Every structure is written in structure tokens, then in C-alpha cells.
Amino acid sequence: MNMTHTMRAVLALSTVLVFAGCSEDFTLLSPISERNVESFYQTPTDFTVAINGAYATLAGNGAYNRSYVLLHEMRSDNTMNGGGSTGLAEVFFRLAHFTELPTASELANPWTTAYQGITRSNTILSRLGNLNDGPFKERIRGEALFIRSLFYYQLAVLWGNVPLQLEEVRSPNVPINQVSADVIYQQIAQDLETAQGVLPASYGAADVGRATSGAANTLLGLVYLTNGQRSEAAAALRRVVNSGEYQLVDDYTNLWGVQNENNAESVFEIQYKAGGTDTGSQFTDYYTPFGDLGGVGAGNAPQVLSPDVQYLHNVQYGVEENDERGFGGTWGFSVENNDTTFWVAKWESTPFGPGDSDNNFPVFRYADVLLMLAEALGEGGEAYGLINQVRERAGVTPISAATPGTFEEKLLFERRLEFVTEGKRWADLLRFGVARPVMATFEPLASAGLTQADIRLLYPIPQREIDVAPGQMTQNPF
């Protein structure tokens, strides 16, 4: 039984027995009740149930199954709002046009989910003393630190200044410790340095999908890059490369589809399982016509694919190339009555029902490690060699310092080609310092009259969190 099936079996127990209840006050540092918590965290089985509950928060709609798709991809120039600007679609219009309101549920849900995951992780970490010392205890420590770090990374990128809570909360009356993003990144780095030293390099089939030392080092490298610490990022990412645990899949198209999940390139992916058990994914419905929520750009998240990103997959650096990441790899299309419909082929599947597909979500894969290491190293022969490993897999020609554009422009361009709809574009634009100029020249926004001054780099903190902690939280400009 792999982790996906184990999670299904224990999630109801973990939710009811351990994590019941969420405060109607500041949601996120403490649940009101944790029934039987004192008697629960005693055995390895208890901690397995608890850590699976923490993984489940990553898989939820408030995280990778919905919110991060919207807040990263729809915010960027990869996808556009396709549902109009009124009614139920207004919130998506606002997300895509940088006019979202702090009262929007699409902001409250990911905030709440992140702090639920952090709370679960903190409780596990605080109760580890109940386990005997040994590899299992240290593995659980590493997994909890990784999950907490992944949530804090998302909070820092999306909101910047957020509350930092590192201890189990046993009372709803907790001071709110709002800190800057760089403090969050420093804490994440400290936690992941610990996690990468205690997590295993790999797991047996029964535990596929759990965080490994490679996953911890990959996130660590990303956090160091985000915080401007290139040499530290390079050291973490070299540990992944030198581990020998990962390699690029030979054919880009063989990365995708249920039959190719947890492949040799997978560093960490969110595990989903269709079948009416509320553990399936929604990506087929978001990005292809094969789902049950209305096809491309319809249903519960009206996403329309950016025409320019389709074009870029076949015309690189002004040269026509047969990029395997283009049609047949990233893009599928059909023509009916002279109208062409495009979709993202990497998410094709046959859903069990609405929003209930088997498709996993790749948070990190080895191509990302190679391109981030190139970013950490900066322009030079080694960096271009790393980029060209990814390009060679796609069947396109190498690039070099002689290729038009700056090194940063070429690397950002390559990341866009490689990872479209994998939730990386908005964070990439922020990290490279080009979010404002890129989005202000994005045709749909430029046509709407937006300028660089209109491009918000941070989302507003959900207003509910400001209201229930008067004087303790500072709102982002909006």
C-alpha cells in the first residue's frame, strides 16, 4: 500500500481524532479543540496518522489542488481569466488584473490551509519526545519540518510579512508574531538544513511520496535563491545532483500521465487518487477538455491559456524549433468549425468525476534542480551546460553566452517553457525582479490600461485575520 492509499485510510481518523475544529478567531495559530490529543501521540502508528494528516493539507483545495494554481499561474502571463468580470467569475478577474479584495475567499482559503498545515506540523514536532530515539523519530521530524517549510515558503512568497509560529499552540490566546519575509526564509533554511540531514534519500514502495533529503535540499535551494543567497543555494542543489537519486526522463512526454507518476525525475510530488474518496485532483478539469467541469477555462476556475506561451514553445530565440515541450508535450489542440481549442496535454486523463482525477502534482522535479543550480551559479560554461541538459531532452539546440539576451532572460525563458502550469511562473517573476515590467507589457493587461504601478507584488492579507487581531497585524497595500 503506497502513501496515497495509506493517507486515504487514516485521514478521516486523523481529522476527527487529532485535528478537529478550527477557531473562528485567528484561524491559524490554533484550533479550538484537539480531542484526546494528550493520549494520542504515543506510538509510531499515531505519528504515521498525524504526519499523513499534515501531508493531506498540502493536497487540499486550499493548497496545491486549487489555490496555488490560481495564485501563481493566473497571476502570471501563463494563463488568463476566461470567465468574464462579473458574478462568480469576478474574483478570478480581480486575481488576474491585480485588483483582488482582502475579503476574497480565494485569499482566505490558502491562508487558512497553510496555518492548518503549520499547526499540524508544530504539534507533531512538539510531541516527538514521546517516541524512542531512532531513525523513525528523526524521519518524522524531517517530514514535519519539510511540510512546515513548504507552507511557510508559500506564505512568504504570496504575502510577504506573515505570522511566524514554531511551537504547538494549546490556547487560543496567542500573541501574533508577524515578521518580514526574510525572517521567514531564514527560519525555513534553518529547518531544512536539519531536515535534509535526517530524511532518507529514498523510500520503499509503501512510502513513495514522502519527503526525502532530495526534496528538502531542493526546497532549501529555492529558498536560498529567493533570499539572494546564491552560494548556499548552489551547495544545497549540488547535494541533490550528487546524490545520484534523480535523472531527467528521456522523453518529455513520458513525464505526464498517471502511468508515469513518481518517475525518475520526480523529487517531490503531491499524491492524488481518484475514486470518489475526496482524494482526487482537479488539474484535468482546469486545463483540458476531458474533465467534468466544463472543459478548458470553465468550471470552478476559468483558466484560458496565454497565446504567447503557446507560440514560444515553437519559436525560440527567433528560430523555429520542434520543441517536445510544445505540441504533443505541453500542448494539445483540436479544430472544430475552424475554431482551434488549445489545452495543456500534460494534465490529460479520464476523471472519475468532477474534479476527481488521478493526476499527481509535481512540486519539484529534477529539471527544476538543474535550472535552479544554473541560476545559483550565474552565467558561465557550467550553468549553460545545466540548461542545455534540459534543452537537449526537449530536442532543441544548445544555447550559450552568444545566444541573444541576458543570461537571466534566457534562464527565465527556459523555465517558462519547461514548467508552464506547474505553479512556478509568478514566483520566478518575483525572484528575478521582473514581475512589474513583464506583467505590465502582458497584452491583456496592457490593453486594459495597467501600468507597472498597478502590479501588486504581494496579495492583501485576508481581512478577517486583520480584524480578529486588532493592532497586531499590518495589512499589505492594496
Over residues 229-254, the pLDDT tens digits come to: 999 999 999 999 999 999 999 999 99
- 72 and 161 within one domain: yes
- Which structural domain, as residue segments, surrounds residue 299? 283-346
Tell me which of 389 and 315 has the higher pLDDT: 389
Indicate whether 56 belongs to any domain: yes
Indicate whether 445 belongs to any domain: yes
Determine contact, residues 278/353, Cβ cutoff 8 Å. Answer: no
Task: Round the average pLDDT of the chain to a whole number and report it.
Answer: 88
For 309, the grid coordinates are: 506561451
Structural domain tally of the chain?
2
Query: Tens digits of per-residue pLDDT, 359-383?
Result: 999 999 999 999 999 999 999 999 9
- 126 and 19 within one domain: yes
Give me the pLDDT at residue 173, please: 80
Tell me the average pLDDT across 273-279.
95
- 188 and 77 within one domain: yes
- 101 and 8 within one domain: yes
Indicate whether 45 belongs to any domain: yes
Indicate whether 240 belongs to any domain: yes
How far from chain centre, in Å, is Cα 79?
16
Q: pLDDT at residue 33 above 60?
A: no
- 313 and 200 within one domain: no
Indicate whether 154 belongs to any domain: yes
Interior/surface letters 31-57, b for 16+ CB within 10 angstroms, e for the rest? beebeebeebbeeeebbbbbbbbbbbb
Q: pLDDT at residue 323 above 60?
A: yes
Max CA separation in the chain (angstroms): 67
- 425 and 328 within one domain: no
Q: Choose the weakest-confidence range: 54-58, 117-121, 150-154, 321-325.
A: 321-325
Q: pLDDT at residue 433 above 50?
A: yes
Residue of 172, 256, 262, 161 lying closest to 212 (CA atoms): 262
Question: Can you give the length of the chain in residues?
Answer: 478
Q: Choose the weakest-confidence range: 54-63, 92-101, 168-177.
A: 168-177
Prediction pTM value: 0.91
- 175 and 51 within one domain: yes
**Cα-based distances in Å from 250 to 265, 395, 397:** 10, 10, 16
CA-only gyration radius of the chain, Å: 22
Tell me the average pLDDT across 286-297.
71
Q: pLDDT at residue 142 above 80?
A: yes
- 288 and 245 within one domain: no
- 389 and 317 within one domain: no
Indicate whether 331 belongs to any domain: yes
What is the band of 3 on the pLDDT scale with cuts at 50, 70, 90? low
Percent of the chain with pLDDT over 70: 88
Q: pLDDT at residue 279 above 90?
A: yes
Indicate whether 139 belongs to any domain: yes
Query: Tens digits of per-residue pLDDT, 202-224?
Result: 999 999 999 999 999 999 999 99
Q: pLDDT at residue 36 above 80?
A: no
Tell me the average pLDDT across 18-28.
35
**Alpha helices of 167-277 — where are they, by DSSP H?**
181-198, 213-226, 230-243
- 125 and 9 within one domain: yes
DSSP letters of 54-111? HHHHHHSTTTTTTHHIIIIIITTTSEEE-S-SSGGGHHHHHHHTT---TT-HHHHHHH
The CATH number covering residue 31 comes to: 1.25.40.390
Determine contact, residues 390/371, Cβ cutoff 8 Å. Answer: yes
- 366 and 342 within one domain: no
Residue where a domain stops, chosen among 318, 346, 374: 346
Amino acid letter at 339? Answer: D
Indicate whether 63 belongs to any domain: yes
Tell me which of 168 and 35 has the higher pLDDT: 168
- 75 and 179 within one domain: yes
Residue where a domain stops, chosen among 317, 346, 375: 346
